[in-house]
């Protein structure tokens, strides 16, 4: 059976990337951001660097601060998590769909359900939820597949 060793070795070599890809799982990052306009804005935190230009273009604020965040590893077919804050919270139920994730979002203001939304999260583009006005600015919720 020695003559089979070479082919088997190369076959395993070819399949290794597939196994590695299957072993790694996706992470959905969700963040509650306080956006405001100030004379001397501080640099955004690392988690928001990739969203800063988009958020500034869409919402117009020049300073972004993270109020709360949650990273959910999408290991199971169905996941649920809560992004809590003082006056607003987001309950997320997710399930795999067509290689992406379909999220069922329920936004609560206090204990009162405010908005129910169903979205398909794509790896290439985030989802922003325009939240309530807060202090001198606004709360924004970000959902991103990493």
Residues near other proteins (CB under 8 A): 3-4, 6-7, 10-11, 14, 53-54, 57-58, 86-88, 98, 105, 107, 109, 112-122, 124-136, 139
Shorter beta-carbon distance to other proteins: residue 36 or 69: 36
Our CB check for other proteins shows the closer of 69 and 102 to be 102
Give the CA distances from residue 124 to residues 34, 92, 119, 121, 145, in Å, rounded to whole numbers and listed in that order: 23, 20, 14, 9, 8
Distance CA 145, CA 131 (A): 20
Q: What are phi and psi of 86, to 5 degrees?
A: -65, -50
Cα separation values, 107 from 34, 63, 93, 110, Å: 16, 24, 12, 9
CB of 74 to other proteins, least distance (A): 15
| Minimal distance, residue 22 CB to other proteins, in Å | 15
Least separation, in Å, of the C-beta of 38 and other proteins? 13
CB of 79 to other proteins, least distance (A): 17
Instruction: Give the nearer residue to other proteins in terms of CB position, either 78 or 133.
Output: 133
Cα atoms in the Cβ-side hemisphere of radius 13 Å centred on 15? 7
């Amino acid at each position: 059976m020695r003559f089979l060793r070479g082919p088997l070795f190369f076959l395993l070599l070819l399949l290794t990337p597939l196994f590695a890809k299957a072993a790694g799982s996706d992470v959905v990052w969700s963040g509650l951001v306080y956006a405001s306009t100030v004379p001397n804005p501080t640099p955004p935190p690392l988690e928001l660097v990739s969203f800063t230009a988009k958020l500034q273009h869409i919402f117009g604020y020049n300073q972004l601060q993270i109020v709360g965040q949650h990273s959910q590893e999408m290991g199971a077919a169905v996941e649920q998590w809560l992004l809590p804050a003082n006056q607003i919270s987001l309950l997320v139920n997710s399930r795999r769909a067509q290689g992406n994730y379909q999220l069922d979002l329920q936004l609560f203001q206090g204990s009162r359900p405010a908005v129910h939304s169903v979205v398909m999260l794509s790896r290439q583009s985030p989802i922003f939820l325009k939240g309530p006005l807060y202090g001198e600015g606004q709360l924004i919720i970000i959902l991103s597949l990493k």
